[in-house]
Structure 1
Amino acid sequence: MSFSAFLHSGVLKLKGGSSASDGSPTEAYQVNTSKLSVRLWDVFSRTFDLGVTAFGGPPVHFQIFYRRFVDGAGKVPWIDDQTYQEIFAVCQALPGPASTKMLFSIAQIRAGLIPALLVFALWSLPVAFAMYGLSLGVQRIDNVLPDPVYALLSGLNAATVGIIALAAVQLARKAITDKLTRLLVLFGGGAGLCYNALWYFPVLIVVAGITTVLWDCWLRGWIRTQVETRRARRDSNVPEPHIETGLAGAQPSPQAPYADNPDGLQRRPAARRSSQEDIELTDRNAETERESVKVDENSTETPTPSPHSISGHGIPVKIGILLIIIFALVLTGLMVLRGLLRAPPLLLAIFNNMFLAGTIIFGGGPVVIPLLREYVVEPGWVSPRDFLLGLAIIQAMPGPNFNFAVYLGALAAISGNAGRSAATSLPGAILAFLGIFTPGIFLSIGFQSIWRALRKRPEVVSVLRGVNAAAVGFVFTAVYRLWEIGYLTKEAADSSRGVSLGREPWWLLVASATFTAVEWFGVPPPAAILAGGVAGLGWWGVVKK
């Protein structure tokens, strides 16, 4: 709620342009089929700034993508609302960084694979470089930071909580379409609060998808049939009026339940028969309507193509399946090495851990944090203080939160060497970057090839409806988890977790003010987050100084 390319052929509008209400052509929802240089400039001009302006983490990124690529932000939209909702659900159903997969797939829909790779680089590399620089500097600072730094970071975290809470509310407004999806949002959020494990979030996603399939494809129809059957039985049990058969010319009452039975034999009720006739009439009307939309063979008018007929920049099925097989083989090989080598080389171990994390993480940033802690702090590669400091800073950075792996990979590489130079840490940062991002992007490209066929099936649509709702619930979980580790103090410097923001009422005020400023006064999220950091410094100056 992370893979949009799979939807491009099914939900985009006309490839060659559609007609507006006034008959003039419009470019809305077009696939860009120009030459490669034009397509590269097209995606660059629309996405070059996202890597340095998209603050707030994945929940806020989803809203930014909606405004820019669905609403259009004053330019030609790239996708429609239905496509956006389906992309969000599929991104949550696949492992890896959801907002990165979503942006990558939207670019693939618009311009193809190579432009999508350019967008991925523009999106992820700016903060990756920043986090790598932080890894070089963090080794040279004291173990205990000055109080104003803790106050600044705590203010940034509190403001981020407010931004994520707002994003959760906005996503819920779109995901909730009926009572079932409302319950699934509650289910995802509540279940995510109660427990946290690597296998847990994928199981919740599967349960939500199965629930909507059972309801949409079987249970709702079964309940409707039972209700109609009981209603028909109740109507058929109405007492038949007494008929004086001895009177000449007596006729059955037209109010009798068997009004079509003048000979007294019990036949099908009149109501049932009329219902069947209505169904047959509806079928005949539907057939007539289908015939009416057929284009005359002798007509010179070009028929309007179906959205499902657009090929766009799709990946061939054979190539997609091949990519999925290659990914499975690489994952299997890494797992075998992980089990056979008691003391693998440090760089191989870093790439292995990050690749595994990128493969088994569902739900985005809130889930990756405890897993990465286990993979880098427990082996002794990164100190608890450095882990917590990097965590606080990445929350205040734009772009994908998975860039946290670059910081950790660089520190891990330094830990295995006597020197602390850039030459020592750079290989670890690069391998961590490739390891954490490769699984999600690879699977997105692979599944894109089969998605066009899958999305036409009603059960798949039902699955996405449930996955989408549960994934929105996970966003509410993210609010809680960041809240519980957002307050940074000297006492927390020796642990890998912060302290709950609830210990200081000021942070609740900062989070609430951020929510209000962005929602009702249109303050840009980056400005609101920076204002939260200033509020943290102001609190320190008044209370702690």
Structure 2
Amino acid sequence: MEGTVVNPATETTAAINAGGRQGTASEVFLAFLKLGLTSFGGPIAHLGYFRDELVVRRNWIDEAGYADLVALCQFLPGPASSQVGFALGLLRAGPLGALAAWMAFTLPSAFLLVAFAMTASAFNGPLGAGLLHGLKIVAVAVVAQAFWGMARSLAPDRQRAAIALAAMLTVIFVSSAIGQVAAIGLGGVLGLMVCRSGKAAGESALSFKVPRWIGIISLIAFFAMLVLLPLAAPSGLPGISLFDAFYRAGALVFGGGHVVLPLLQAEVVDPGWVSSDTFLAGYGITQAMPGPLFTFAAYLGAVMGPEPNGAVGAAIALLAVFLPGFLLLLGALPFWDDFRRRPLAQAAMRGANAAVVGILAAALYSPVWTSAIIRPYDFALAAVGFLLLTVWKAPPWIVVITMGVGGVGLLFV
């Protein structure tokens, strides 16, 4: 009607929600709070919880749309399960729904990890040292399980196994964040050369739209921060170096939450911000938490040596490690259907995903294995944890408790 003023924010929200029934941010928050308190088991398990709660029970999106959304988030760098949750919140209740989904799914485990970081001084005695050693052994079992599973799915043939090996050697000989970036880049280039065979992409089933201008702005913001933050870090402004380190780690995570381990290790252990023992103990306790593995960043931000640390450091690290994955998701949604059909793009991603296997293999040896496996008894305990996870399919929190008790028991051997 003539004279009517259209609110751009309302128009954008309506465009984003086209194809999905409108909900409320509070509805999204409560649904994801339940998931954030109960979703144990890592990213693959989280996707199963999401499907049961939001596709089957609540009917927020159909099966085909959910499958295509999962494919998109697994294709992009970042925390796949959190990206799927963010997108489902966006579909249901617009930008506020996306924020509500992320907060509700992430904050329960983040608060628990910050509390553990703040009380770490209570573990200084012999029993505490044994418990922390057990948590480091948990990391051995968990990363070994992740490496084994990812090798079978992401490097199942000779070509991709060779790419994984090349990536592992790259990381070993260039032991820094630069080596990991180079390994992923090398994987993408080799994928273009040797990974062109594969199943063609089908018709997209995503049922909501994001305006292209939002996608373009999101991609510009992603790359601008990736380039400008390292330039601003030496300025000495509080928090810039911390934000830069965690943003870069979050921007380069292909293949799942466990891959953030070597990236964060290069960013916080190598510069001396966090000791290797403290790093691995925190990673071990993270396995007992519900919600995304990326909340490990909150623990690291809290235990940092240099300021900002504590609650402020945890908040900065948590926001920085998640932000690039969400910017990439918003940037990809308007262009996904066209991009996913390009054979060269699919080949490059196969190669990059294979490179992730090599990066994780290098991390399994150092710092995980070299810091935790000191005696044959440690190896035996790690083998127990690995078998509990892979053969008996024990929940991760049970493995954490078992390894913690076992670490204390090793004090008497």
How would you bin the TM-score normalised by the shorter chain? Answer: 0.7 to 0.9
Number of the residue aligned with 1:202: 181
Contact persistence 2:137–2:382 (CA under 8 A): yes
When residues 40 and 462 of structure 1 are mapped into structure 2, their CA distance, relative to the original with a 3 A threshold, is: farther
Number of the residue aligned with 1:243: none
When residues 209 and 86 of structure 1 are mapped into structure 2, their CA distance, relative to the original with a 3 A threshold, is: farther
When residues 338 and 371 of structure 1 are mapped into structure 2, their CA distance, relative to the original with a 3 A threshold, is: closer
When residues 147 and 369 of structure 1 are mapped into structure 2, their CA distance, relative to the original with a 3 A threshold, is: same
Offset of 1:83 from its aligned partner?
A: 6.8
Number of the residue aligned with 1:308: 203
Amino acid at match of 2:131: L
Amino acid at match of 1:129: F
Number of the residue aligned with 1:477: 362
Offset of 1:460 from its aligned partner?
A: 1.3
Contact persistence 2:138–2:399 (CA under 8 A): yes
Offset of 1:172 from its aligned partner?
A: 2.6
When residues 44 and 461 of structure 1 are mapped into structure 2, their CA distance, relative to the original with a 3 A threshold, is: farther
Offset of 1:455 from its aligned partner?
A: 0.5
Number of the residue aligned with 2:388: 517
Offset of 1:367 from its aligned partner?
A: 1.8
2:100 alignment partner, one of 107, 113, 118: 118
CA distance in 2, matches of 1:146, 1:366: 29
Secondary structure, aligned partner of 1:521: coil
Please show how residues 162-173 of structure 1 align to structure 2 within 5 Å: 162-173=141-152
When residues 99 and 209 of structure 1 are mapped into structure 2, their CA distance, relative to the original with a 3 A threshold, is: same
Number of the residue aligned with 2:7: none
Please show how residues 153-168 of structure 1 align to structure 2 within 5 Å: 153-168=132-147
Amino acid at match of 1:127: S
1:324 alignment partner, one of 209, 216, 219: 219
Number of the residue aligned with 2:269: 373
2:44 alignment partner, one of 54, 60, 63: 63
CA distance in 2, matches of 1:521, 1:73: 28
Indicate whether 1:129 and 2:111 are aligned. Answer: yes
Offset of 1:100 from its aligned partner?
A: 4.0
Indicate whether 1:435 and 2:324 are aligned. Answer: no
2:23 alignment partner, one of 36, 42, 64: 36
Q: Find the structure with the greater CA-based Rg.
A: 1
Indicate whether 1:456 and 2:341 are aligned. Answer: yes
Secondary structure, aligned partner of 1:518: helix
Please show how residues 179-218 of structure 1 align to structure 2 within 5 Å: 179-216=158-195
Identity %: 23
Contact persistence 2:28–2:101 (CA under 8 A): no
Amino acid at match of 1:122: A
When residues 347 and 148 of structure 1 are mapped into structure 2, their CA distance, relative to the original with a 3 A threshold, is: same
Secondary structure, aligned partner of 2:177: coil
CA distance in 2, matches of 1:347, 1:54: 31
2:352 alignment partner, one of 457, 467, 472: 467
When residues 370 and 51 of structure 1 are mapped into structure 2, their CA distance, relative to the original with a 3 A threshold, is: farther
Indicate whether 1:54 and 2:40 are aligned. Answer: yes
TM-score by length of 1: 0.59
CA distance in 2, matches of 1:204, 1:414: 29
CA distance in 2, matches of 1:336, 1:207: 25
Which protein has the bigger helix share? 2
CA deviation digits over 1:421-443, x for unaligned, max 9? Answer: xxx95444333332333223222
Number of the residue aligned with 1:533: 404
When residues 529 and 408 of structure 1 are mapped into structure 2, their CA distance, relative to the original with a 3 A threshold, is: closer
Amino acid at match of 1:207: L
CA distance in 1, matches of 2:100, 2:129: 36
Contact persistence 2:89–2:100 (CA under 8 A): no
Amino acid at match of 1:62: P
When residues 81 and 508 of structure 1 are mapped into structure 2, their CA distance, relative to the original with a 3 A threshold, is: farther
Offset of 1:314 from its aligned partner?
A: 3.2
Indicate whether 1:507 and 2:387 are aligned. Answer: no
CA deviation digits over 1:265-301, x for unaligned, max 9? Answer: xxxxxxxxxxxxxxxxxxxxxxxxxxxxxxxxxxxxx
CA distance in 2, matches of 1:74, 1:315: 20
356-365 or 149-158, which moves further after superposition?
356-365
When residues 429 and 173 of structure 1 are mapped into structure 2, their CA distance, relative to the original with a 3 A threshold, is: closer
Contact persistence 1:346–1:413 (CA under 8 A): no
449-458 or 115-124, which moves further after superposition?
115-124
Offset of 1:72 from its aligned partner?
A: 9.1
Amino acid at match of 1:509: A
Contact persistence 1:209–1:466 (CA under 8 A): yes
CA distance in 2, matches of 1:64, 1:519: 14
Instruction: Tell me the number of residue pairs that the alignment of Structure 1 and Structure 2 aligns.
Output: 382
Please show how residues 2-17 of structure 1 align to structure 2 within 5 Å: none
CA deviation digits over 1:136-173, x for unaligned, max 9? Answer: 434xx38x811211211222221332233223222333
Offset of 1:331 from its aligned partner?
A: 5.2
CA distance in 2, matches of 1:180, 1:47: 42
CA distance in 1, matches of 2:349, 2:155: 13
CA distance in 2, matches of 1:177, 1:391: 29
Amino acid at match of 2:124: L
Offset of 1:450 from its aligned partner?
A: 2.2
CA distance in 2, matches of 1:458, 1:50: 37
Amino acid at match of 2:203: H
CA distance in 2, matches of 1:415, 1:217: 47
**Which residues of structure 1 form unaligned runs of 5+?**
1-30, 56-60, 221-305, 417-423, 486-498
190-199 or 462-471, which moves further after superposition?
190-199
Offset of 1:321 from its aligned partner?
A: 0.7
**Which residues of structure 2 form unaligned runs of 5+?**
1-17
Contact persistence 1:365–1:401 (CA under 8 A): no
Number of the residue aligned with 1:251: none
Offset of 1:523 from its aligned partner?
A: 1.8
Amino acid at match of 1:321: I
Amino acid at match of 2:105: W
CA distance in 1, matches of 2:107, 2:167: 32
CA distance in 2, matches of 1:159, 1:413: 24
Number of the residue aligned with 2:12: none
CA distance in 2, matches of 1:48, 1:105: 17
CA distance in 2, matches of 1:331, 1:42: 30
CA distance in 2, matches of 1:162, 1:426: 30
2:238 alignment partner, one of 325, 346, 362: 346
CA distance in 2, matches of 1:467, 1:49: 30
